[in-house]
Structure 1
Amino acid sequence: MNSAHAPGLDGAAEFDFLRELVAIESPSLDRAASERVAAPIAERLSAVGGRVRLARTEAGTSIVADFAGPGHPLLLVGHTDTVWPVGTLESSLPWSHENGIIRGPGTYDMKSGIVVICAALQRLDGNPSRAVRVVLNCDEEVGSPTTGELIRAQAADAMAAIGFESPHPDGALKVGRRGSTRLAVHAHGRAAHAALNPELGVSAIDELIDQLAGIREITEDPLLPSAVLCNVGVISGGTRANVVPESARAEIGLRFVDSETESRVLSAIRGIVPRRRSARIEVETLSSRPAWRASAADAALLAQLSATAALLGQRLDGRPAAGAGDTNILGSVGVPTVDGFGPLGGGAHAIDEHIVAASLHQRIDLLSAVLATPPVQP
């Protein structure tokens, strides 16, 4: 597969498209920005023969595009939202393309991955040698609260899935990801004067502190099948020192290697009960992506991709990743899955976000070769 033979895809056009997408700043949950960034992507996918539909929710606009071909569809998964607020491009992280490095908000996570998808399909004139379905959702960075079911539905008949998040620093794909759940624990007590009649009050903060200690015991239970990462990231509550606080809240981030540990820990936390009479506890799930432990089917998909890469003179490895993403949804239900097919770079969610320009073309070459290969018939 030689990209030099593809008209209009001489490299500069691909960089121009990336710059176009980066210029449309698209923070999560900004519906107008989401609609704007979806438009040029949908237009490109449609122009090369994709059957495109837009799925709108209160979070924004997601894109689904089907390309006809033999076999069940190969799912290509990504997202259009970023962590950056509008204005970042004009202030702390302007676009630049110098010395083989491209910088800008969303370049690495993950608008360059979207460019890989669109450019590979354009290179094949929208005629891959297998059925392909592109799913680009609008709220991945906040846990896909409105689009998780869309991803599940589009994966129902998929033969396999490739995620276009960033790879490991050495370019290896991500095969297996920790599950990630964010919980809010709300403690409700009763206000009273802290000196005149403290006995009439029930401290929500004291209740919350005791509950957090109990949650730590749950997550550090040595009888769990695997270790749990638990981070209490936000605590708030109370009004002033002379008032017994009537409410308090903590936000907790949990990471799991396997589904059994995940199920046991979450069940235990959701079952916690008040330690104080008249106190009340609520556990709210803010977002949840199930643990994806790499399977033999995932390893087989990686082997197929690695073999294709070798034909291009590329080396492609894979290993588990600590972070979670939408591929957790797919891998956890048994769809053969890999992630990290985006270009090399660094600085995800950081002020030095960037990609290595040459790797953009390498990923396009590889995806083009993958999509030009007919599916293996059972």
Structure 2
Amino acid sequence: MTDLERLHALVRLETPSLDAAAASQIIEMLAGWWRAVGADVRIVAGGSGPHLVAELPGIGDPVLLVGHCDTVWPHGTLTGDVPWSVDGDIVRGPGVYDMKSGLVVMLSAAQRLRGRAHRAVRVVVVCDEEVGSPDSRPLIGECVQGVSAVIGFESPHPDGALKVGRRGSTRVRLAVTGKASHAALDPAGGISAVDELVDQLMAVRDLVTDPTLPTEVLCNIGTVNGGGAANVVPAHAEAEIGLRFIDRESETRVLDGFAALRPIRTGAGLDVEVLSQRPSWPASTADTGWLGTIADVARGIGQSVTGRPAAGAGDTNLTGGLGIPTVDGFGPSGGGAHAVTEHASLASLGSRVDLLEAVLTRV
């Protein structure tokens, strides 16, 4: 099976996050492919759907390859906004860039290792990365045990550079309970959950813009819901907030501040729920050393590799945050992640396969 055929087979299976049936289909397909290249495969059941762990025997402590099979796209995207197409070097389709082409890189390189001396390889593919890996985070923690280094197969920087260091990412829900009443006949008898939420969001703004924080905190109020009619004092309101952190101190202080939020209005209720959390991953000397090793291997096959921190978070936040030598962005070049312009470069996919093969046979 060619790289393009393998990628097409993966993209044909639409796999939105939290769709356990779709995850089962694609994980079974991946499991078959990994068994075919000689790996011992374990399918791990989870609340979001199954995850895959594969072990390819080899020399030394394993290199862990990290990927995910879920996408941000709902069913029907393939026949709608983002149809599959191949135009010269450019291939398009839902999840083709983020990150099913990265899964192909892993498999195609592993296929080339058969019958050759190479590093031991461990693979973990999860089905809930796009929603913060709430179910698979413990599995990733299990898979890092005993590994020598980690490579993540998310997309690279736009110029093809690898990602070394990532912002931490946390999603928080603020849910407010008030008391309904008639907005004209009994306004004082109600407690506006919407008004309470607005004031809480102002307090959040103060938390994330505190000038004494060591580094910038990015905060996005992603959704706001509440109320039902203009003549009813609303009894419920909530907001989902996305936070991005560079360093641990800022992360800790802001999240402690969220935990300390209390209702402002007498009788109102406030629930603060952390939906998902990925720790910040500041690049360490171990990470830059691993990048340097990969760059040396790349030069040996006529490629040039650089790396730098990334704003987005991913599963490598967990591995890098634990101090294990980690790089990410080993997927092929392209663009349009999470957008209808999503696309990947087939030539870059081939180059990444060449590089991964060289890393696993020479390191």
TM-score (norm 1): 0.94
- Match for 1:362 among 318, 340, 351? 351
Quick check: 1:184 aligned with 2:173? yes
Alignment of 1:98-117 (within 5 A): 98-117=87-106
| Contact 2:15–2:23 (CA under 8 A) maintained in structure 1 | yes
- Match for 1:131 among 112, 116, 120? 120
The residue that corresponds to 1:248 in the other structure is: 237
Residue 338 of structure 1 aligns with an amino acid whose one-letter code is V
Alignment of 1:258-277 (within 5 A): 258-277=247-266
Quick check: 1:331 aligned with 2:347? no
Q: Structure 1: where are the runs of 5+ without partners?
A: 1-7
The residue that corresponds to 2:65 in the other structure is: 76
| Contact 2:59–2:117 (CA under 8 A) maintained in structure 1 | no
> SS in structure 2 opposite 1:343?
coil
| Contact 1:101–1:354 (CA under 8 A) maintained in structure 2 | yes
The residue that corresponds to 1:5 in the other structure is: none
Measured in 2, the distance between the counterparts of 1:245 and 1:64 equals 47
1:47-101, Cα deviation, whole Å (9 max, x unpaired): 1211100012121121100112232211000001111122211222221111211
Measured in 2, the distance between the counterparts of 1:340 and 1:204 equals 42
| Contact 1:69–1:127 (CA under 8 A) maintained in structure 2 | no
Percent identity of equivalent pairs:
55
Measured in 2, the distance between the counterparts of 1:274 and 1:22 equals 46
Alignment of 1:127-276 (within 5 A): 129-276=118-265
Q: Structure 2: where are the runs of 5+ without partners?
A: none
Measured in 2, the distance between the counterparts of 1:308 and 1:262 equals 36
The residue that corresponds to 1:312 in the other structure is: 301
Measured in 2, the distance between the counterparts of 1:213 and 1:199 equals 23
Quick check: 1:20 aligned with 2:9? yes
TM-score (norm 2): 0.98
Quick check: 1:293 aligned with 2:282? yes
Quote the RMSD (CA, aligned, Å).
Answer: 1.2
| Contact 1:48–1:126 (CA under 8 A) maintained in structure 2 | no
Measured in 2, the distance between the counterparts of 1:235 and 1:336 equals 39
Measured in 1, the distance between the counterparts of 2:15 and 2:263 equals 41
- Following superposition, which runs of at least 4 residues in structure 1 exceed 4 angstroms of deviation? none
Measured in 1, the distance between the counterparts of 2:55 and 2:115 equals 10
Quick check: 1:50 aligned with 2:39? yes
The number of aligned residues is 363
Distance apart, 1:111 and its partner CA: 0.7
1:100-122, Cα deviation, whole Å (9 max, x unpaired): 11111111011110010000010
Sort the Cα spacing of 1:128 and 1:223 in 2 relative to 1 into closer, same or farther, 3 A.
farther
Measured in 1, the distance between the counterparts of 2:65 and 2:115 equals 14
Deviates more, 1:129-138 or 1:297-306: 129-138
Sort the Cα spacing of 1:128 and 1:256 in 2 relative to 1 into closer, same or farther, 3 A.
farther
Distance apart, 1:127 and its partner CA: 5.1
Residue 306 of structure 1 aligns with an amino acid whose one-letter code is A
| Contact 2:85–2:92 (CA under 8 A) maintained in structure 1 | yes
| Contact 2:179–2:235 (CA under 8 A) maintained in structure 1 | yes
> SS in structure 2 opposite 1:26?
coil
Distance apart, 1:126 and its partner CA: 6.8
Deviates more, 1:124-133 or 1:221-230: 124-133
Measured in 1, the distance between the counterparts of 2:229 and 2:92 equals 45
| Contact 1:203–1:244 (CA under 8 A) maintained in structure 2 | yes
| Contact 1:121–1:127 (CA under 8 A) maintained in structure 2 | no
Sort the Cα spacing of 1:127 and 1:28 in 2 relative to 1 into closer, same or farther, 3 A.
farther
Distance apart, 1:128 and its partner CA: 5.2
| Contact 1:49–1:126 (CA under 8 A) maintained in structure 2 | no
Measured in 2, the distance between the counterparts of 1:230 and 1:359 equals 34
Measured in 2, the distance between the counterparts of 1:219 and 1:331 equals 24
The residue that corresponds to 1:63 in the other structure is: 52
1:203-222, Cα deviation, whole Å (9 max, x unpaired): 11111111110110011000
1:179-204, Cα deviation, whole Å (9 max, x unpaired): 11111101111112222222221111
Measured in 2, the distance between the counterparts of 1:241 and 1:94 equals 42
